[in-house]
Structure 1
Amino acid sequence: PRSKRPKLGQHEQPQSYHQFVTNVPEYLGICNPRVLEDIKKFARGGGPDLSDLRNCPAPTSSPPVAMSSSKSTFLSGRRSSGTTITARTSSAYDRDFCQKLVDGGVYTAGYRDPITGEASKHPTNHKELREVLARPRESASPSTSEFEAYWQADVDARKEKQVSESIVPLIEGKIPDGRCRSGDILFNNLKPLTESNDLKSAKPDIYYGARPEQIHKSTRHDLGGYIVPSTESDLPVAPNFFFAVKGPDGSPAVAERQATYESALGARAMHKLQSYGKEKHSYDGKAHTLSATYCQGTLKLYTSHVEAPGQPGGPPSYHMTKLRSVAMDDSIESYKEGTRTYRNARDWCKKERDEMIREANQR
């Protein structure tokens, strides 16, 4: 007769199901609640008798503690057959995200060096960009009724989705090429922005880039991890304009952190195109990437540019600078200014992007 498999104990699991953690706090953080309760009861009773361990030398390393592979995956973010647990990745909604950006050489608007007190570097074309955004345009001349429709939509919006559906189209106006615009897409094809690789993949609300076929196939292949953001390869590539949107309850700080991260990825993409085929990297000190945020009636515009490494062989740094801020819900004049500023920024980014691509294709 076929022998029966021995029954597992109350808290046992098959050996093949186990991986390992290397310290007690990790184990207590993921163990079965019933096991944790047993441990607490045991501790309240005084714990084990350790009298026979007196004068014993301390162990040089902690023995591994078994845990289930599914819980190991939860902690590490990926399944692994070894004992290494990777660092936790963060998004713009996490409290440590901003510090991880700074540690990785990505500086938010207004950042100052803690030792020298120097402010983060402005792009050399900062003044020029402010002039570009102020240029008049016929498409940004709303009537009183159009402003009232915007104002009412802004008042009625209770969620981010409502802002995206009813307000963003009014700000954007006519989109020149729908194939160059996308959003809510995970940037899962890009190389990590920082050396520590502890940032989650970006997922912009809205971004603008080029059609893939605008860039030679060989160039897309060579620079794929920097300019092709998604594994869905027919989506816009080489993005350099980003728009983060929040609802009335949304956080302007989160929107700015999103913009910082996303526009740094865009600045890197432009830098890679600009340097493609050259013997040395190009660091011109100019911004070729812009980002915008909209939260609670206020539109903000930022630049992002790349600076050369501080030491030979080191990574470059990315600097975000505030460019404009407009309270669009204040008056018809401010609404007109906001739509003009946004559309001029978007059009300027397209011009910069197309020029970078044209030059890269010629090399």
Structure 2
Amino acid sequence: MDEPHTHAEEKQAPQSTQTRKRQLDSDDDKPQPKRARLTRKNLAAFNKMGKKKTSDDDSGSTKTKTTSTTSSGFAEQVYKNGVRQPPYAKPPPNLEDIRERLARSRATASPPELEYKRYINKVEGAPNEATMVVEVSRRLPKEYDDEGYSQVFNQAFTNFPENVGFNNGLSAPQPDFVEGLRMPEYGPFPIGEHVGGAVLYKDDPNSLTLPHLAGEWKGPGKNIKEARMQAAYDGAALIYARNQALNVMGKPYLAGYAKVITFTTDGTNLNLFAHHAAPTEEGTLEYHQHPIKSINLIDSHEGYKEGRKHLRNAQDLAKEESYALRDELNDYWRAKRTQPVPLPTIEDDYEVVEHQPVHQATPPTLSKHRSGKTHSHPSHHSHHSHSTPHSSKAPSSTHSSTHSSGGKRKASSSQSSHGSSGHISKHRSYWKKDAMSGRYYHKHSDGTVSWLDDDKDDGRD
């Protein structure tokens, strides 16, 4: 379905534009449509990375990207969807922190001058984009040994939801480079079922999931501004998925801090960008792409080392964010599965007396009888108090006994007047019943849980 769309666009363009597009897209493409189709089938995954795609083909490995800024109104639609680039992009509040992090010295040795000269020779001699991408990708980025953390080149986000705001009316993002964790790394949390946009590739159990770094390449003579626009779109997709993950956990996701990084390069220059989302005064959401740093890679040995260092530090930072988000999601999921399930409010009318000291010569202990009534028995302890409240249900207001400093007591006029000095507060739903164990519990504001001792439960069902 890509080709009819692409040729229709070419018919609308002037002849000079068609010729220039063919010259930029491939070294040996001819005007004949048949020849072009054969070339796309036989080229490697990198060979068509200079154009944006509109196809819904799930393979994504050799398809042509056709949502370009010149032929399909891609730039205009991206802007309408709220994706902002300089000079209209706002800086994130942590921009300087990111710049400092990317400029840090690395523990490994810097590349020698011989490697720099070899890089110049390879990149400046690259006849097309595919060659340039291979030469740059084997020298500038870092490779990780983590089995669950990997890189993917030129693959469309075939599992990404459509028309969620930033991508309205556009095909799925297809970065030239993306790096992140694979889906199995997020177990036990079923991330594909709960976080929209997190799992990038359809029907792929090893799909990259919630990455924080993407990149766009351009070949010799191609428009680097177009790569920047494509990177802005890629970054918006990564932000959207991250925000959805935070939203599942009930965390605020519009604080404005940048956690996603993209880059563009043509082999000569490296440009790094920070991405964040921010609400507008109208209540809509904008996705901002703000420059971090631009570095010339070939002017000097120092420039080459600087660019390599910044890109690898960006990779390390994105990896840390990916693992941190994964751990948060897993912790959230485990806590959710282990916490007691709240039941509807218990309708018994109680007042809670908190931290009220009780001094009795012979404080009673409680026992249950088949009648369900509570009776008191003498105890040999002269002082007895608890820091956590327990429920004591008396059969009547005239036959109630105080069990502890934090005990529950049936509401009565005499108790209400006495309890005002003991911080009595109305709390109809203080104790809740755990569906699994049948026991009653109370979850405090600090996250701790108190369980009502069965031996102290005087007849509650």
How does the TM-score come out when normalised to structure 1? 0.68
Cα deviation, residue 235, structure 1 = 2.1
* Alignment-derived partner of residue 190 in structure 1: 160
Cα deviation, residue 177, structure 1 = 3.5
- Counterparts of 1:241-260 in structure 2, within 5 Å, are 241-260=213-232
Counterpart check, 1:235 vs 2:207: yes
* Alignment-derived partner of residue 245 in structure 2: 273
Distance 1:125-1:77 versus aligned 2 partners, 3 A rule = closer
* Alignment-derived partner of residue 262 in structure 1: 234
* Alignment-derived partner of residue 282 in structure 1: 253
Cα deviation, residue 185, structure 1 = 1.0
Counterpart of 1:302, as a letter, is F
Counterpart of 1:246, as a letter, is K
Partner Cα distance (1:247, 1:261) in 2: 19
Counterpart of 2:138, as a letter, is P
Partner Cα distance (1:203, 1:140) in 2: 33
Cα deviation, residue 154, structure 1 = 1.2
Counterpart check, 1:343 vs 2:312: yes
Cα deviation, residue 342, structure 1 = 0.1
Partner Cα distance (1:196, 1:334) in 2: 36
Distance 1:322-1:276 versus aligned 2 partners, 3 A rule = same
- Identity across matched positions, percent: 25
Matched-pair contact (CA < 8 Å) for 1:91–1:199: no
Q: Compare the two structures and name the one with the higher helix fraction.
A: 1
| 3-state SS of 1:286 partner | coil
| 3-state SS of 2:139 partner | helix
Counterpart check, 1:162 vs 2:131: yes
Higher relative contact order (CA 8 A, sep 6+): 1
Cα deviation, residue 308, structure 1 = 3.0
Partner Cα distance (2:184, 2:205) in 1: 10
In terms of Rg, which structure is larger? 2
Matched-pair contact (CA < 8 Å) for 2:259–2:321: yes
Cα deviation, residue 124, structure 1 = 0.8
Matched-pair contact (CA < 8 Å) for 2:78–2:167: no
Cα deviation, residue 223, structure 1 = 3.7
| 3-state SS of 1:199 partner | coil
| 3-state SS of 2:231 partner | helix
| 3-state SS of 1:226 partner | coil
Matched-pair contact (CA < 8 Å) for 1:219–1:361: no
Counterpart check, 1:221 vs 2:196: no
Counterpart check, 1:209 vs 2:209: no
Unpaired runs of 5+ in structure 1? 1-28, 30-75, 79-88, 112-119
Cα deviation, residue 309, structure 1 = 5.3
Partner Cα distance (2:70, 2:187) in 1: 37
Counterpart check, 1:102 vs 2:65: no
User: Match for 2:151 among 164, 172, 181?
Assistant: 181
Cα deviation, residue 330, structure 1 = 0.8
Partner Cα distance (1:339, 1:77) in 2: 34
- Counterparts of 1:46-195 in structure 2, within 5 Å, are 90-92=67-69, 94=71, 96-111=73-88, 120-139=89-108, 141-177=110-146, 179-192=149-162, 193-194=164-165
Partner Cα distance (2:74, 2:177) in 1: 21
Partner Cα distance (2:136, 2:236) in 1: 26
Distance 1:240-1:196 versus aligned 2 partners, 3 A rule = closer
Counterpart of 1:298, as a letter, is N
Matched-pair contact (CA < 8 Å) for 1:140–1:336: no
Matched-pair contact (CA < 8 Å) for 1:211–1:235: yes
Matched-pair contact (CA < 8 Å) for 1:226–1:269: yes
Partner Cα distance (1:239, 1:93) in 2: 29
Distance 1:196-1:184 versus aligned 2 partners, 3 A rule = closer
Give the paired residue count: 268
Distance 1:91-1:215 versus aligned 2 partners, 3 A rule = farther
Matched-pair contact (CA < 8 Å) for 2:144–2:150: no
